[in-house]
Amino acid sequence: MDHAADAHRTDLMTITRFVLNEQSKHPESRGDFTILLSHIVLGCKFVCTAVNKAGLAKLIGLAGETNVQGEEQKKLDVLSNDVFVKALISSGRTCILVSEEDEEATFVEPSQRGRYVVVFDPLDGSSNIDCGVSIGTIFGIYMVKHSNEPTLDDVLQPGENMVAAGYCMYGSSCTFVLSTGVGVNGFTLDPSLGEFILTHPDIKIPNKGKIYSVNEGNAKNWDGPTAKYVEKCKFPTDGSSSKSLRYIGSVLYEVFPMSFLMERAGGQAFTGKQRALELVPKNIHERSPIFLGSYDDVEEIKALYAAEGKE
C-alpha cells in the first residue's frame, strides 16, 4: 500500500458512501438498513472516544454489577451499552435488541419500531482496557420474521439468517469490519474527518493460516480433538513449520457475527459438531464452543472430530 499516495487521495470511500452504493444495487430498498447502520457507526464513534479517554474520565473500574455471563461489569461496559441501546432505538428501524449486558431482550415500543433485530456485545474485552490492548463492539443484524408483533422467535434464528454482521475494534486505530452478506470490508476511522474510510476492501482469509489463537489456561477442559489439534500446531508431523501463538483475551467472538464474517471472507466456523451458522439457539444468551479459521485448518479439526467419532 502506498501510504504517501493515500495521504493525498481525494476520492475517499466512506462507510456511508459504501453502504449507499450497495443500496443502489437493490431498487426495492427503502434505505432502512442504511439508516440503521449509520446509528451503529455513530455508537462506535462515541465508544471509541470514551475508550480513548477512559482513564481521564474515570471510566476504568467496576460498576458494581455483573452481566448475564457472570462477568463483573466495567463502567465502560455500562456506558457503551447505554449508548448502543439508545442509538439503535432512536434509529426507528429496530424492534428487538439483545445485548450481552442485559439479561432480557429489549422490545422497542411500537411508535419507534422497525423491522430489524440487532444482537450485540457493546464492549467485548473491556477488562483488558487497563493493559492498552484492543477491545471492541460486535454486532449481528436479523430481519424480523413477525412484522406485526415481534417475539423472541425473531431472535432465536440460526446465524445463517443474518442480513449483516460486523465488529468495531478500538486500539491504536479504530477499525470497523462489515459484511452485508457478500464479501467482507474493513474501514478505518480518520480522526481528522470523523469518518470511517475504506482501507481493507474485500478481505480474504488464506486457505491455511500460520497463527493459532487459544486460551491455554483452559487446556484441562479441552476434549480430545481440540488437544490433538493444538499439539499439531506446536509439533507438526508433516515436516511443516510450527504455527505461531497469538492470544489476547478480548474481541474473541460472539459466535454468529464472527462466524458470518469468517465464512464471507473464505474461512469456516465449526462448533465441534456442526457448521456454526446452522446452530439454532434455544435462549438468547446460549453459549457454544467455536473454531474459527482458515478453510483448510478447520477441515483438519473436522477430520479429528470425525476420527474420534469412529473410535
Q: Per this entry, what is the length of the chain?
A: 311
Question: CA-to-CA distance for 122 and 47, rounded, in angstroms?
Answer: 9
What is the pLDDT, as a whole number, of residue 254?
A: 86
Indicate whether this model's pTM tops 0.85.
yes
pLDDT of residue 29: 83
- Mean pLDDT along residues 262-277: 97
Q: Is the pLDDT of residue 152 over 80?
A: yes
pLDDT the model gives residue 277: 97
Alpha helices in the chain (DSSP H): 3-7, 15-24, 32-52, 75-90, 224-234, 255-264, 295-310
Measured CA to CA, the distance from residue 289 to residue 116 in angstroms comes to: 27
Between 76 and 164, whose confidence is greater?
164
Summarize pLDDT for 194-225 with one digit per residue, the tens: 999 999 999 999 999 999 999 999 999 999 99
**pLDDT at residue 137 is higher than 60:** yes
Question: Chain-wide mean pLDDT for the chain?
Answer: 89
* DSSP notation for 130-158: GGT--EEEEEEEEE-S-SSS--GGGTS--
pLDDT range class, residue 249, cuts 50, 70, 90: low
pLDDT band at 53 (very low <50, low <70, confident <90, very high): confident
Instruction: Return the number of other C-beta atoms located less than 10 Å from residue 183's C-beta.
Output: 14
- Which whole-number Å values give the CA distances from 233 to 227, 249, 276, in the listed order? 10, 19, 22
Q: How much is the pLDDT for 311?
A: 66
pLDDT of 300 above 70: yes
Confidence category of residue 69, pLDDT binned at 50, 70, 90: low
